[in-house]
């Protein structure tokens, strides 16, 4: 009845990627992808929160009354988000300052609630943990891809290391959220076209 770990992982990373196929978690994808290190921290933070909150909610799924399940989910997720925020403020203050309000806004990321509703309340804790963690990793993967483009074109660096060459002009717009709109849009366009083509082929 519970999914095998491998199937969960494949689903979350590729076929049902939260950002590119479910189009969830876009807001923070736009803001933090200006550098790869920001994206990595944000992505890991989200993976952590989603994994643990999914596991916690799954463990409690038999005692949470149905009509207040969303309240309970929000509470649990908020606790983990605040813990992540406190942790960053206390031990990685520079990164906390760069990410700014977006750490606290992890709670609004639809991916976490989405997994809690869609998976955690119907599955045992360990699969829920894996599902939550890898949905976060799928999100992180997309973020890193977008950030790679934005950081290389906008700063000429990758993780802070210089990669630009003589005569290269940096694209200032890549440092702003609208650039991420276009990049993520292009990825969704590509994946959607590919999926449509596959569907057309199997339908024949």
Q: Which of 6, 67, 165, 203 binds another protein (CB under 8 A)?
A: 67
Q: Give whichever of 5 and 191 is closer to another protein, judged by the CB atom.
A: 191
Of 27, 40, 59, 79, which one interacts with another protein (CB under 8 A)?
79
Query: Under the criterion CB under 8 A, does residue 127 sit at the interface with another protein?
Result: no
Q: Report 35-64 residues binding another protein (CB under 8 A).
A: 62-64
Please tell me whether residue 163 binds another protein under the rule CB under 8 A: no
Chain centroid to CA 32: how far?
A: 11
Q: Are 121 and 69 in contact (CB under 8 A)?
A: yes
Of 138, 1, 129, the closest CA to residue 54 belongs to: 129
Nearer to another protein, 12 or 29 (CB): 29
122 contacts another protein (rule: CB under 8 A): no
Is the CB of residue 54 less than 8 Å from the CB of residue 115? yes
- Closest listed residue to residue 34, CA positions, set 165, 182, 173: 173
How far apart are alpha carbons 179 and 202 in whole angstroms?
35
Least gap, CB of 56 to another protein (angstroms): 10
Q: Does 102 engage in binding with another protein (CB under 8 A)? A: no
Total residues interacting with another protein, rule: CB under 8 A: 40
What is the spatial distance between Cα 153 and Cα 186, in angstroms, rounded to a whole number?
A: 16
* Residues 173 to 192 in contact with another protein, rule: CB under 8 A: 173-176, 178, 182, 185, 189-190
Question: Is residue 2 a contact partner of residue 115, using CB atoms and an 8 Å limit?
Answer: no
Tell the smallest beta-carbon distance from residue 2 to another protein (Å). 21
| Residue 17 backbone class (left: φ over 0; alpha: ψ -120 to 50; beta: rest) | beta
Indicate whether 89 belongs to the interface with another protein (CB under 8 A). Answer: yes
- Rounded CA separation 173/166 (Å): 20
Residue 105 interacts with another protein (CB under 8 A): yes or no:
no
Q: What is the Cα–Cα distance from 104 to 204, expressed in whole angstroms? A: 48
Of residues 23 and 190, the one with the C-beta less far from another protein: 190
Q: Residue numbers of the site for another protein (CB under 8 A)?
A: 34, 62-68, 71-72, 75-76, 79, 82-83, 86-87, 89-91, 93, 97, 154-155, 169-176, 178, 182, 185, 189-190, 193-194, 197
């Amino acid at each position: 009845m519970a999914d095998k770990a491998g199937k969960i992982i494949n689903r979350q990373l590729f076929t049902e990627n939260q950002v590119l196929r479910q189009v969830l978690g876009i807001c923070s994808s736009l803001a933090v992808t200006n550098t790869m290190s920001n994206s990595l921290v944000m992505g890991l933070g989200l993976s952590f929160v989603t994994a643990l909150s999914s596991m916690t909610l799954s463990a409690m799924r038999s005692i949470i009354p149905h009509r207040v399940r969303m309240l309970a989910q929000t509470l649990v997720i908020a606790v983990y988000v605040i813990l992540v925020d406190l942790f960053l403020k206390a031990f990685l203050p520079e990164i906390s300052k760069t990410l700014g309000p977006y750490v606290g806004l992890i709670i609004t990321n639809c991916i976490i609630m989405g997994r809690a509703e869609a998976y955690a309340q119907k599955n045992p804790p360990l699969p829920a943990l894996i599902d939550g963690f890898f949905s976060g990793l799928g999100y992180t993967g997309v973020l890193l891809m977008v950030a790679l483009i934005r950081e290389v074109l906008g700063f000429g660096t990758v993780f802070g290391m210089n990669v630009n060459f003589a005569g290269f002009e940096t694209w200032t717009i890549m440092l702003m959220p609208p650039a991420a709109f276009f990049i993520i849009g292009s990825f969704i366009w590509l994946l959607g076209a590919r999926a449509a083509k596959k569907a057309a082929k199997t339908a024949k």
